[in-house]
Amino acid sequence: MALKYYHAEPAANSLKSMIPLLEKRLPFESVYVDLHKFEQHADWFVAINPEGQVPVLDHDGNIITHTTVINEYLEDVFPEIPLRPRDPLGAARMRYWNKFVDEQVMNYTSMHGWHRMVGVIARNIESGEFDKLMERIPLPDQRRKWRTARSGFSETDLAYATDKVVYAIDKVETQLGKTPWLAGPDYTLADINFYSMCGMMVERMFPELQVASRCPRMVAWREKMNARPAVAKALAGENRTNPALRTFTGEAR
Amino acid sequence: MALKYYHAEPAANSLKSMIPLLEKRLPFESVYVDLHKFEQHADWFVAINPEGQVPVLDHDGNIITHTTVINEYLEDVFPEIPLRPRDPLGAARMRYWNKFVDEQVMNYTSMHGWHRMVGVIARNIESGEFDKLMERIPLPDQRRKWRTARSGFSETDLAYATDKVVYAIDKVETQLGKTPWLAGPDYTLADINFYSMCGMMVERMFPELQVASRCPRMVAWREKMNARPAVAKALAGENRTNPALRTFTGEAR
């Protein structure tokens, strides 16, 4: 049995499937893909994932992409240490939250991250070079996102994205008043998803939201997440982003 | 064991979880929710689903919402007639396609459907009455969508949505050159998802795309879907939409 995990910095998508691998104590080969060098669009990587996106799980030569899909796959194949409730209703609650994060949260924290970090990177690339890089991106929407990051996302779009983030943290705060974890009594993939895509960085990224006073239960939940050995180990992974550019995780502004 | 399914017309989301119920030959009580009377925002319905959206599955009093979540739940509880591959890799392929349809397809056929049908409905409501109806909608994004449908989606947004539909049907066409069904050798929830959200109506809704010549394999696949007794039975369900307004399914233009 051989697991290989292709990933970038320990944040967002790359973090989201790294945590389950570590929680489940699965031995795996870590393959760092350097987004700063656009390795995700290089021929060798696109041969592995034609969509040109990290992360990717290679299990005995089978390629799985998209973190929510990868994480369910890990539950199906390695159920010993479960991160998905074994009762169908619990699994449905977990999937409800995964869907919410995937569709209503991820793109919106991401937009601010791209605006702040990828925008700077994109603007530092000379035009001719930039166009050549764009040609190598397989997904049309991803090309659009790079071009928009370069010119800057509109104030309207950024304000809408902030509204979505506020809606999400309020919803999570309400839920954590009812259950200790997002999907019920147990820590699940839903917690890992929201943490990786929003919860870990939202306070740093949006100081104007006064997250600590607005969402005290979420902050306590985040600290519980931070304290998990698997999460701490994942966060300690390689990070080649210039510290001055770590705006995506709110470490820099 | 009691299953109750709250749904509207047999198209899109309401169709998507109806088909699995019928494929699995599960006895269920059908509860029609009349969207033309805004019953999905009525107190009795919001008490069942606080998001005010159809469909909803009630299984022995447990409420499950969101069709992709409902359909996985049905697999978990009633695995006898499977619509999800039993091998983890097959399940991952199915979930890859479900995610693609949920995130990259559904909203875009939907935008054209709303533009054509819901826009007409919304514009026929007097302003004061319309504002009152909007106040009853629980999800902020759903309120936005209604307001946009009333004023009309922008040409830019509609053109982008068409691009997404084209991308999707070309992707499906390519896949059907490799495997008989979307996720591999077997008919799965992925087929039901794409069919309900795009495949069944795309040719009628977008005649300018010349779907029959562009995507012959997809059209053959759609006919295979239409011929399934469960699909035919679901499509024959109650439809209270004025035939002249059935633009969402392309039956009217």
The residue that leads in pLDDT, A1 or A49, is: A49
Residues of chain B short of pLDDT 70, as ranges, are none
Q: What mean pLDDT comes out for the span A125-129?
A: 92
Measured in degrees and rounded to the nearest 5, phi and psi for residue A8 equal: -110, -145
Distance (Å, whole) CA A235 – CA B24: 44
Does residue A1 have a pLDDT over 80? no
Query: Under an 8 A CB cutoff, do B91 and A102 touch?
Result: no
Measured between CA atoms, the residue of chain A closest to residue B91 is A73
- What integer pLDDT is reported at residue B247 of this predicted model? 83
Residue B113 DSSP code: H
Measured between CA atoms, the residue of chain B closest to residue A166 is B140
Distance (Å, whole) CA A16 – CA A195: 8
**Residues in chain A closer than 8 A to B69 (CB atoms):** 92, 95-96, 99
- What integer pLDDT is reported at residue B117 of this predicted model? 87
Measured between CA atoms, the residue of chain B closest to residue A139 is B167
Nearest to B88 among A73, A99, A167 (CB): A73
Q: How many CB atoms lie within 10 A of CB A178?
A: 8
CB A188 within 8 A of CB A94: yes
- What integer pLDDT is reported at residue A79 of this predicted model? 98
Distance from the Cα of A73 to chain B's closest Cα (Å) equals: 6
Does residue A64 have a pLDDT over 80? yes
Does residue A82 have a pLDDT over 80? yes
Distance (Å, whole) CA B108 – CA B103: 9
Distance (Å, whole) CA B186 – CA B191: 9
What is the pairing mode between strands B3-7 and B56-59?
antiparallel
Measured between CA atoms, the residue of chain A closest to residue B75 is A88
Place of tokens 């939907």: B110
**Residues in chain A closer than 8 A to B163 (CB atoms):** 140
Nearest to B140 among A70, A140, A167 (CB): A167
Is B73 near chain A, with CB under 8 Å? Answer: yes
Is B92 near chain A, with CB under 8 Å? Answer: yes
- What integer pLDDT is reported at residue A117 of this predicted model? 87
- What integer pLDDT is reported at residue B16 of this predicted model? 98
Residue pairs between chains A and B whose CB atoms are closer than 8 Å: 61
Distance (Å, whole) CA B26 – CA B8: 19
Q: B179 CB contacts (<8 Å, ≥6 apart)?
A: B185
Residue B157 DSSP code: H
Query: Under an 8 A CB cutoff, do A95 and B65 touch?
Result: no
Is A159 near chain B, with CB under 8 Å? Answer: no
Measured between CA atoms, the residue of chain A closest to residue B97 is A69
What is the ipTM, given to two decimal places?
0.96
Strand ranges of the sheet holding B62-65, from the earlier edge strand across to the other edge: B29-32, B3-7, B56-59, B62-65
Distance from the Cα of B227 to chain A's closest Cα (Å) equals: 30
Q: What mean pLDDT comes out for the span A175-188?
A: 98
Query: Under an 8 A CB cutoff, do A69 and B96 touch?
Result: yes
- What integer pLDDT is reported at residue A201 of this predicted model? 97
Query: Under an 8 A CB cutoff, do B72 and A92 touch?
Result: yes
Distance (Å, whole) CA A18 – CA A231: 9
Give the angle A164-A223-A217 at the CA atoms, nearest 5°.
Answer: 55
Is B36 near chain A, with CB under 8 Å? Answer: no
Is A131 near chain B, with CB under 8 Å? Answer: no
Q: Which of B58, B60, B66 to mutate to test the interface with A (most CBs of A within 10 A)?
A: B66
